[in-house]
Amino acid sequence: MEVDPRFAEFVAQRGDALLRYGYVLAGNPHDAADLVQEALLKLRGAWPRLRSKENPESYARTTMARLHIAAWRRRRRELLAWDLPESEHHDPLPSGDERRMWQALAGLPRKQRAVLVLRYYEQLDDAEIAAVLGISRGTVRSQASRALGKLRDAVPAEPMTRGPMTRGNVR
């Protein structure tokens, strides 16, 4: 397939500006280059339909923004580390009560388990959980209430002899 000379001219003239825009979006040159490359591939496929349009750069910028948002959504909770840890990390095996808690959590219906994980592990509020799961905020609250009830039944409460909780807030 032959490259339209107008497309090649557009890339030659506006490629650096698109790369700068990608850098502003992504915050690093590697992701910026990926955004530009993916956007130009999409623009190349759509070029016959855009020939009569005055501003193909707006198509490319919109595509880059959408690609960036899609990538951000996929990894929004992921933290990248440049350095490898100096030693291996192994979580300690759970005690009897903790093991029962994990088993009880694994035994919950999927929606209830997802609500609890999003609320207490990811620390999302009800509106965010509702948006992620595609359910109403009332359903989030009722599923959380049912799930917590099942966990209370499965793992009896122990007296507060330990210090205050160190991870997350209980709602």
pTM of the shown model: 0.43
Q: Are 58 and 13 in contact (CB under 8 A)?
A: no
Instruction: Name the band, by pLDDT with cuts 50, 70 and 90, for residue 171.
Output: very low
CB of 57 closer than 8 Å to CB of 51:
no
pLDDT tens digits, one per residue of 116-143: 888 887 788 999 888 888 889 999 999 9
Residue with structure tokens 């030659």? 12
Q: How far apart are CA 161 and CA 171, in angstroms?
A: 21
Write out the residue limits of the CATH 1.10.1740 domain(s) in the chain.
Answer: 5-74
Which residues belong to CATH 1.10.10.10 in the chain?
Answer: 96-154
Q: Which of residues 134 and 166 earns the better pLDDT score?
A: 134
DSSP 76: T
Domain 5-74: CATH class, spelled out? mainly alpha
Task: Tell me the CATH number of domain 96-154, given options 3.40.50.2300, 3.10.450.40, 1.10.150.120, 1.10.10.10.
Answer: 1.10.10.10
